[in-house]
Amino acid sequence: MKAKYISMLAIVALAFTACDDDDDEDNNTLPGPQLTIPAEYLAPNYAANVVDENTVLTELASMTTEANAAEANAQSGTTVAPIAYPTTLQAVTLPAYSDLVEDWLVELVEAANSPDDFQNPGNAEPADDQEGGLLGTRLLDEYGLELEQMVQKGSFGAACYNHALTVINSDSITAGDIDKLVEIHGAEITFDAAASTAAATYSKRRSNINAQTGFFYDIRTNVITAKAAIEGGSAFNEIRDQALTDYLLNWEKSNFATVIYYCQATKVFLQEAAALTGEEKDAKLGDAMHAYSEGVGFTHGFKGLSQKMITDAEIDQILADLLARENENPESYRFLNEVSLIANLDKIQTDIQTIYGFSNEEVVSFYVNN
């Protein structure tokens, strides 16, 4: 028995020695599953998957068309009818912003039906009997804010981005849900830049179309990766989650890069208007307030959203610099009268650059609409 016991020990020792030699030779871990990421976005059931998102964007486009028609008919003697807030769009909008949109739609129609053009109050506040009107071709409320931009551009954040968050935060996101993220951003299955709508119009404008680089194309990569990771199974959940986080961040960055664009555009229009007179001056000032209002809308629409890099306090500061604080009457008209406020527009650009770490070259590139 003793001899047999010693023999077994020798065999075990030999076995361990052999294992050690193998470890020293390979020292490799068997590779895990590899994720295959396609070169293009694939979605055979796209139309069926994005019915709700398509409805949201259709309603937003319809509401915007009515706002445009109100501007076109302002001070023309044609009575502008009330503009309804579409139900599906309203349902996906942050409640606080939804309440504001309801009020803005009423005020927009009042401005369109006002018998007067926009009356610049100068250093005073607007008169109690003023409802706003046209400045050049732009329909402003009595405070100088173009409300069409608040209801449309603000909804890109408060409604569309908010809906994307709902999709992403669902209990079990599916590959079909990624189609919803493509649609609600305003892209489509082929990511044809020319066919982009809603927020995708602006992620496209802040991108290099020829090189196919920038936010629009980064978002394409994000959704392709997220869908492939979901279809690949739970082993790729970390890749899925990172792709979805990047999708949101690229949308957010494109939104605030667009605020930079409109701050710069406002500045340029105001400076150009200083050299003009009469109707030409009014038209240029109207364009300045149009650009300004776009900046306010894009900024305000992200207030209250979760899962974003910028904080609500930082948004409040931008709105304060734009003289358009939440739940207060804006003082937008002051940009028409106080040259010193151009410095606010420069400050906002610098603040946004700091928040997102944009390079100087990137900021300059944002001044161009692609």
Q: Taking 80 as the threshold, does the pLDDT of residue 16 lie above it?
A: no
**Which range has the worst mean pLDDT, 23-32, 117-126, 319-328?**
23-32
> How far is it, in rounded angstroms, from Cα 198 to Cα 188?
11
Listed as own residue / partner, the contacts of 357-366 with beta carbons closer than 8 Å and 24 or more positions apart are 358/257, 358/260, 362/257, 363/260, 365/206, 365/208, 366/206, 366/257, 366/258, 366/260, 366/261, 366/264
* Residue extents of the structural domains in the chain: 46-120+137-365
pLDDT of residue 32: 77
Rounded mean pLDDT, 14-29: 46
Whether the Cβ atoms of residue 320 and residue 242 lie closer than 8 Å to each other? no
**DSSP code string of 130-162:** ---EEETTEEE-TTS--HHHHHHHHHIIIIIIH
Rounded mean pLDDT, 11-36: 55
Q: Taking 70 as the threshold, does the pLDDT of residue 44 lie above it?
A: yes
For the chain, the average pLDDT equals 93
pLDDT digits (tens, 9 = 90+) for 147-171: 999 999 999 999 999 999 999 999 8
Structure tokens at 94: 């942050």
Rounded mean pLDDT, 207-223: 98
Rounded to 10°, the helix 51-73/198-205 angle is 80
Rounded mean pLDDT, 288-304: 98
pLDDT of residue 33: 87
Q: How many CA atoms lie within 13 A of 82 on its CB side?
A: 6
pLDDT digits (tens, 9 = 90+) for 269-285: 999 999 999 999 999 99
The reported pTM is 0.91
pLDDT of residue 28: 63
Whether the Cβ atoms of residue 292 and residue 149 lie closer than 8 Å to each other? no
Question: What is residue 174's three-state secondary structure?
Answer: coil
> How far is it, in rounded angstroms, from Cα 289 to Cα 33?
55
**Distances in whole angstroms, Cα of residue 175 to Cα of each of 38, 45, 285:** 14, 10, 48
Neighbours of 78 (CB within 10 A): 13
Rounded mean pLDDT, 283-296: 98
Closest CA to 157 of 260, 262, 304, 265: 304
> How far is it, in rounded angstroms, from Cα 152 to Cα 150?
6
